[in-house]
Each structure stands twice: as structure tokens, then as C-alpha cells.
Amino acid sequence: MTGTAIPQIITPSHTFLKEVEAKSKQTVSACFQCEKCTNGCPVTFAMDIVPHKVIRMINLGLKDHVLKSDTIWICASCETCTSRCPNDIDIAHVMDSLRQLCQSSGIEASQRNVPLLHEAFMSTIQAHGRIWELEMETRYMMKTKEVTSKDMKFGMDMFKRGKLKFMPSRWGAGSKVKQIFNQSKGRG
């Protein structure tokens, strides 16, 4: 005898579409589900919800499903979807806006390490005006606490080949980048 599955109760958010459109400044409601975004996406194999379905779920108000999905964190922001959209929806920017909404809503990222890598990346740029890979990797590994001997060997090989610099390279516009960060935080 098979049991009857209890249907999941889905409560749509009536404000989610407006929230996403306001945050992304994109007319997500203009999507007519042509699937060009999904067909061009190079990382759909790793997504739990493909891009055109994420857009549809936004239109339906399925906030929890969208913000708890792996897709918004797996998106590579390559903008292939954006370039293919016949309605000029910047889907990559919508995905970025969804990540921001996820974090501001207090929802834990389904892909825990993605925000940590982003934070390490931005901290390094803020400190030096450009990326310094050695510091970025160090910051990231300290946050994730996931350092393996394979990682260490790979790092040493890159260092020996000159791919990782021991010191950050000098760049004249570093103070301007710091000024941009200060302005974005309301301190400039």
C-alpha cells in the first residue's frame, strides 16, 4: 500500500516581483518564457532551477523557493543570458540582485562558500585597489577553513611559475578605488 503524499503548501509573496524589479531595475514581468537564457547558459547542468524558471518563479511570487535555490549562487554572471534576452532583461543582474535580497533577508546562502569568496575578493580590491590573488586566497581559506595539502601544492606550483606574486603590484589608482568604496558606504 502506498501512502498519499501531503501536498506542499506554497504561499506566494505578492510583493516579491516588485521587490526584485525595484532592486534590479529590470522589468522581470516582461519575460515571455522563450527560454533563450536557459539555452545559452553554460552552467545549467549545476543549477537546481534553470534561469527562465527562476524568472517565472519571481513572477509567481515564489520568494522562498527562489532565494533558497542553488541557482542564484551558481550563476557565473557571464551575461550570456542577458545578451540573448529578446526583451533586454539583464538576467545576470537580476541574479545578482537576488543574491543581495537573500543576504538582506537573512536567508543563508545555499552555496555557503560563494559569498565568502566574494567577500575575500572585494576586501582585497578595497585594500589594494586591484586584486592580489595571494591575499584573496588566504582570506578565503581562513574563512572557509578548508585548506588541503593539494591546495598548498597547487599554490606553491603557481608561486614557482610566477602566477602568484608575493607582494601586490603597485597601481596608481588605488586611492580612487578606496574612494569609490567609501562613497558606496556613504562615507565619501
8 domain residue, yes or no: no
What's the pTM?
Answer: 0.74
pLDDT in tens, 92-146: 999 999 999 998 998 888 888 888 888 888 888 888 777 788 888 888 888 887 7
Three cell numbers at 30?
516582461
Question: Is pLDDT at 61 greater than 90 in this prediction?
Answer: yes
Dihedral sign for Cα atoms in the order 113, 117, 122, 124: positive
Tally of domains within the chain: 2
Residue where one domain finishes, among candidates 104, 129, 160: 104
Could you please report the per-residue DSSP string of 100-145?
A: HHHHHTTPPPSSTHHHHHHHHHHHHHHHHSS--HHHHHHHHHHHHT
Residue 168 pLDDT grade (very low, low, confident, very high; cuts 50, 70, 90)? confident
In Å, what is the CA distance from 70 to each residue of 16, 43, 143, 174?
Answer: 18, 12, 20, 34
Q: Are residues 125 and 170 in the same domain?
A: yes
49 domain residue, yes or no: yes
Q: How much is the pLDDT for 147?
A: 76
pLDDT in tens, 4-21: 777 777 788 889 999 999
Quote the mean pLDDT of the chain. Answer: 86
Domain that holds residue 121: 113-183
Residue where one domain finishes, among candidates 104, 126, 156: 104
